[in-house]
Amino acid sequence: MKISQLVNQYTILRVNHSRQYLNAVTLASKRFIEANGDIYIGDIKEEHIGRYLALVGNHAHSSYTLRGYVVMLKAILKEAFDVGLISRVPRFPRIRVEKRTPDAWTLEETKKLFEYVGKLDGHVGAIPARLWWQSILLASYYTGLRLSGLLNVYWFQVDLDGQFLKALTNKNKREQTFVIPDDLAVLLREIKEPPREKVWEHPYNPKWPDRALRRIVDRAGIPAPKSMHGQLFQKMRRTCITWTAVNDLNMATRVAGHASPETTIRHYVDPRMLGAITPAVPRLKIKVS
């Protein structure tokens, strides 16, 4: 079996995975084929991995992106191992990445964002833009759901009378139930018409929400590094989990879908709000003239 055939089989068998993940797997296989040709799985050696990394290094803008390419190719080769196409997975070089601390929005920045989107003109499909953006961002703030999870919330999962919302988490595909606070319930009632299957449908391409939020954040004057393009909904997820952890770390772990609080703290809790290092040395009381 050639690598293109294996990837086709891999993606077909994982229909419940996110489109973003399956696209990443497909892109990784495309880069591998560009570097080595569509070779048979059993012929793949470490030298082919080296050619692949040399090629994707030209497309990767950070060590995180490069590591992502490695993870995707490893997943493909592990599938080959699991189905008996290869006797071992080739060894991969270790990609060292910078260890960044999680970055959430402060309450002031979050309020500024909602003030800006509340004044937006125009429409997203048939829904006024201000209501579409206020509701999806407020749902993100209250639930910590990823963008892909939010975009796949159906109206049958929303109980406006009991004020509950059910959604599938993106990674483990477990359904979680969230309380809908009063302000979000009001917005959801405002956007219930016209009838449609999904709550936050939009008529644009899949990358539109990320790109549009980038423009909104820039115009609102809210700090967000350009390297975070495509990560701003994830920043709202970290904001939700960070402020939840400040009040209840166990609840924040549930929201994140993690097995341990340590994982939540390491990847999602902004240390400015919880856990910043406080100097323990004696204070010098320097006089400033």
pLDDT in tens, 135-146: 999 999 999 999
Confidence of residue 174 (pLDDT cuts 50, 70, 90): confident
Question: In this model, does residue 229 exceed pLDDT 60?
Answer: no
Residue 138 makes CB contacts below 8 A (sequence gap 6+) with 114, 183, 184, 187
Helix axis angle, 208-220 relative to 232-247, nearest 10°? Answer: 70
C-alpha torsion angle, residues 147, 152, 154, 159 (rounded to 10): -40
Confidence of residue 172 (pLDDT cuts 50, 70, 90): low
Give the pLDDT of residue 288: 80
Question: In this model, does residue 161 exceed pLDDT 90?
Answer: yes
Average pLDDT, the chain: 91
Give the pLDDT mean for 221-235: 79
Give the pLDDT of residue 222: 92
Give the pLDDT of residue 196: 95
Confidence of residue 170 (pLDDT cuts 50, 70, 90): low
Predicted TM-score (pTM) of this structure = 0.75
Give the pLDDT mean for 81-91: 91
Give the pLDDT of residue 282: 86
Question: In this model, does residue 52 exceed pLDDT 90?
Answer: yes
Question: In this model, does residue 126 exceed pLDDT 90?
Answer: yes
Three-state SS string over 33-102 comes to HHHHCCCEHHHCCHHHHHHHHHHHCCCCCCHHHHHHHHHHHHHHHHHHHHCCCCCCCCCCCCCCCCCCCC
Give the pLDDT mean for 25-51: 94
Q: Which of 90, 83, 89, 88 is nearest to 1 (CA)?
A: 83
Question: In this model, does residue 132 exceed pLDDT 90?
Answer: yes
CB-CB contact of 42 with 86 (8 Å): yes
Give the pLDDT of residue 277: 80
Confidence of residue 228 (pLDDT cuts 50, 70, 90): low
Give the pLDDT of residue 127: 97
Give the pLDDT mean for 165-176: 80
Helix axis angle, 129-143 relative to 107-117, nearest 10°? Answer: 160
Give the pLDDT of residue 227: 64
* Domains in the chain: ranges and CATH: 3-82 (1.10.150), 107-268 (1.10.443.10)
